[in-house]
Structure 1
Amino acid sequence: MYGLASVQVYGLQSAMKELNFRGVMVVFRRALGKIAAELYSFWNFLTCLYGISPETFQENQNLSSFFKVLTTSTDEDNKVYVSTVRAHSYPVTAFQWHPEKNAFEWGLSMIPHSEDAVQVTQHVANFLVSEARKSLNRPPARRVLDNLIYNYSPTYCGKAGKGYDEVYIFS
């Protein structure tokens, strides 16, 4: 059900530039470079069912004209699928992998927790926060406080072995 996928980065320098990785510390450059050689991308069986091949992606004008492929991954059946895309003209990035799991999920042994794997997680988070900060659409301060995740308590479920250590249950 769960496994690791190998990741290929289409032109490492291009991907770094595309995701605003300019001026990044040497440690992260090393970590991102290792993505191409090591298994840092956690995936589940649904990827095989719903992933899109690079060929199908390129043949679909709606997709290829809107998104640029940054990475592909290979599943355990050696099927290659598009795993990271970035919009050509909009601040939209999409992942077909779980960048957060390396740092925050401990319930499954195949999730890598090396320094490099956690650096990848941290940089993806930094990138997404940086992109969000560019938005001028901001709620009033009181509404921000009302919507903070700190207003809710996570439920630990790591021993269940389902791939999530903590979940938020909203009622």
Structure 2
Amino acid sequence: MAPRVSWIATLVTALVAAAAFGLDVVAASARGPIIGVFAHPVSKHGEYIAASYVKWIEMGGGRVVPIPYNAPKEYLQEMLPQLNGLLFPGGAATVNDRAEYLYKLAIDLNDNGTYFPVWGTCLGFEWLVQLTTGDLGSLDSGLDANNITLPLNFTDAALSSRLFGGASKELYQWLAEKPITMNNHEQGIGVERFPTFSKLTEFYTVLSTNYDRKGFHFVSAFEAKKYPIYAVQFHPEKVSFEYGEYPDGTPYEVVDHSSEAITSGQYFANFFINEARKNDLKFKDPKVQQKSLIYNYQTSTFTAPGFVESYLFKHDSKNNFWRIE
């Protein structure tokens, strides 16, 4: 009898070990990609990231590491290859040499065989235009596209694109017919101006366009031809997470929160995070990862906000940028 008990015990031990090993493998493969989100200065004393961008990444299954606007290049060079993707958010900041450095690092990663996606939203879209052309004056200004929701005018290339090719027929139709993409910008690049820059036409494929209130025709979405770089002039993160109101209850922005709009925001989040799953980059040290994630910071809430919640980061006096030590 004893030998049989021993045999059963051995079998149970082996099965438990195998199950534990299997769970470990599944957990590792399913671990959420980590996206670097570039912060913007809010004053000379600190920077911010709108929490809606963080939530948008999380709704796609990703996690966030905030990247300081003026971080030393040595820090950026060390950090970016430990992330799975990069997001340039909307806002009002001027594109700086750190953003340019990150853009070039992302290009280099892809050129060297690592599939590394970059996403630009609104100002991030505009930055990618400027970074690709190498010309800060490449944008059109004076657009009347603040606080307006629009349907997309898809180009012939959209349906076969990476960005929109995976959308359901229903979602594609919603985006084309319903005003569910929220625009909030005074700059952009016109449909007529875009092809005057050979660096843009060689690098990107235009996927959608829109008209502002004055009838100006601008590019609203593109993707790189040979790189996993994507940009939209509208705000997919706002539809699910920005509900700001004035004290009298009037919405701060005309964001469409319909199920169709939220489905579109979810689609873009899923798309970007799935792109980030295509590389196996990870932090060298789990402790550094844990200290770098945005979970270490609290959000701030404002009355009648441009953003319902924001992460505010105070500059470190010694390094002039913030990080968890």
Smaller-chain TM-score range?
0.7 to 0.9
Name the structure 1 match of 2:153: 8
Q: Which amino acid aligns with 1:102?
A: V
For the Cα contact (< 8 Å) 2:154–2:176, is it kept in 1?
yes
Name the structure 2 match of 1:111: 255
For the Cα contact (< 8 Å) 1:7–1:74, is it kept in 2?
no
1:149 aligns with 2:289: no
Deviations 1:122-168 (A, max 9, x none): 010011111122234322332222122221111112x3243x11110
Q: Which amino acid aligns with 2:313?
A: F
SS in structure 1 of the partner of residue 262 of structure 2:
helix
For the Cα contact (< 8 Å) 1:5–1:73, is it kept in 2?
yes
For the Cα contact (< 8 Å) 1:73–1:83, is it kept in 2?
yes
Over 3 Å counting, the alpha-carbon distance change for 1:20 and 1:8 in structure 2 is closer
Percentage of identical aligned residues: 30
Name the structure 1 match of 2:264: 120
For the Cα contact (< 8 Å) 1:5–1:76, is it kept in 2?
no
Deviating above 3 A after TM superposition, structure 1's stretches of 4 or more consecutive aligned residues are none
Q: Which amino acid aligns with 1:68?
A: T
Over 3 Å counting, the alpha-carbon distance change for 1:143 and 1:21 in structure 2 is farther
SS in structure 2 of the partner of residue 65 of structure 1:
helix
Name the structure 2 match of 1:169: 312
Q: Whole-Å Cα distance in 2 between the matches of residues 20 and 84 of structure 1?
A: 10
Alignment partner for residue 40 of structure 1, among 159, 168, 180? Answer: 180
SS in structure 2 of the partner of residue 73 of structure 1:
strand
For the Cα contact (< 8 Å) 2:147–2:253, is it kept in 1?
no
Name the structure 1 match of 2:191: 54
* Aligned residue pair count: 160
SS in structure 2 of the partner of residue 58 of structure 1:
helix
Over 3 Å counting, the alpha-carbon distance change for 1:161 and 1:9 in structure 2 is same
Deviations 1:8-56 (A, max 9, x none): 1224522xx422643x5xxx5312321111211211242xxx2111221
TM-score by length of 1: 0.83
Please tell me the root mean square deviation across aligned C-alpha atoms, in Å. 1.9
SS in structure 1 of the partner of residue 159 of structure 2:
helix
Name the structure 1 match of 2:171: 31
For the Cα contact (< 8 Å) 1:4–1:76, is it kept in 2?
no
Over 3 Å counting, the alpha-carbon distance change for 1:155 and 1:117 in structure 2 is same
Q: Which amino acid aligns with 1:116?
A: E
